[in-house]
Amino acid sequence: MATVVMTSLDSKSRAASRGLSDIKIRNLFIIPTILFLIVFNIFPLIYSLGYSFTDFRASTNAPATFVGLQNYRELLNDPFIWANFAITAKYVIVSVTGQVVVGFGTAMLLNREIPFKGFITTLLLLPMMLSMAVVGLFWKLLYDPSFGIINYALGLGSFEWLANPEMALYAVAITDIWMWSPFVMLLSLAGLSAVPRHLYEAAAIDRAGPFYTFFRITLPLVAPILMIAIIFRTMEAFKTFDLAYILTSQPTTEVISIRLYKMAFQEWQTGRSCALAYIVLIMVLAITNIYVKYLNRVKER
């Protein structure tokens, strides 16, 4: 791992001789943050790595015994855990696809001269700023089979959204789409408005059809920013906990974070849950790595 090491600074030597030296200031400004993050993020992870090789249960006073890789072996051979991963994957696909379709579509509509465009955009962004837990709660009211406004508006009678094992995951995804499509819209809009207008004019002169224009001009130019939105949302949907936990308690909506929470804080299988946490962590870091590559690529443009 990289450490903060003295290197030559570009400042004037006269200025550097007054007060604190630049190197001291740099270290004073950077090191506390790095230390804080190491103590409160990295150290706990090392701590739990240790527990992941034990059968420790935080609910008892029994000392932890070392069991080697047994937790990992059992987890990776457990079909129920794989079922949780499959549910998570399904949720990610449905939710992110929905957000891209709705978000990008809305951005295409908004990318023209529209009265009160700034105001409308701000209103559309409101859902994603709200608390997921509280959003989950009030969507329960909207989804209610007997007096929910969704069933009334769609004429579905007393259709069960959340109590129905088949439907519940889609209900959670719909709420997530409502919340986060605006995020995809916001980023797409930034990409769309950066497409030089003369490209469209040239295409119009060449009598290019709307499909040709979209696939050959618009999409390739928006793609890098759209990828940032997609990867970021994929990562967030993979980690999702609040919405699904509050909206339903179906086995069909038990995404991996909920399984992890139950294993750690309801079944108190601390050692095993630490091992599962590590499996999840490695997956998240892999997605983060891809995400940062795209962030830097867009930044460099």
Partner 1 sequence: MAAVQTRSERALNRLAIAAVLVITLLFLAPIYWITSTAFKPRNLATTIPPTVVFQPEISPFVKLFTKRSQLRSAPEPEVYAAAPWWERLVFDGGEKVVRSGRGEVQLSGYPNRFMNSLIVAITSTVLAVGMGTFTAYGFSRFKVKGEADLLFFILSTRMLPPVVVAIPMFLMYRAVGLNDTHWGLIILYTAFNLSFSVWLMKGFIDEIPKEYEEAALVDGYTRLEAFFKIVLPEAATGIAATAVFCFITAWNEYAFALIMTNRRAQTAPPFIPSQVGSGLPDWTVIAAGTFLFLLPVAIFTFLLRNHLLRGMSFGAIRK
x-marked contacts with partner 1 along 159-198 as a string, rule CB under 8 A: -------------------x---xx--xx--x--------
Residue closer to partner 1 (CB basis): 46 or 166: 46
Taking the complex as a whole, the smallest distance from the CB of residue 220 to partner 1 amounts, in Å, to 18
Taking the complex as a whole, the smallest distance from the CB of residue 75 to partner 1 amounts, in Å, to 14
CA pair distance 218, 122, nearest whole angstrom: 24
Q: Read off the DSSP letter of residue 68.
A: T
Binds partner 1 by CB under 8 A, chosen from 12, 62, 77, 206: 12
Burial class (CB in 10 A: 0-12, 13-18, 19+), 5: exposed
Taking the complex as a whole, the smallest distance from the CB of residue 110 to partner 1 amounts, in Å, to 6
Taking the complex as a whole, the smallest distance from the CB of residue 295 to partner 1 amounts, in Å, to 5
| Binding of residue 266 to partner 1 (CB under 8 A) | no
C-alpha distances in angstroms, 295 versus 188, 193, 226, 228, 284?
Answer: 14, 18, 11, 7, 16
Residue closer to partner 1 (CB basis): 27 or 70: 27
Q: Which residues contact 25 (CB under 8 A, 6 or more apart)?
A: none
Q: How many residues bind partner 1 (CB under 8 A)?
A: 106
Site for partner 1, residues 201 to 260, rule: CB under 8 A = 225, 228, 235, 239, 241-242, 246, 257, 260
Taking the complex as a whole, the smallest distance from the CB of residue 14 to partner 1 amounts, in Å, to 8
Taking the complex as a whole, the smallest distance from the CB of residue 60 to partner 1 amounts, in Å, to 13
CA pair distance 45, 185, nearest whole angstrom: 35
* 143 contacts 171 by C-beta, under 8 angstroms: yes
- Strand ranges (E), 155-264: none
**Could you tell me which of 174, 132, 170, 296 has the C-alpha nearest to residue 227?**
296
Site for partner 1, residues 30 to 89, rule: CB under 8 A = 30, 32-34, 36-37, 40-42, 44-45, 47-48, 51, 58
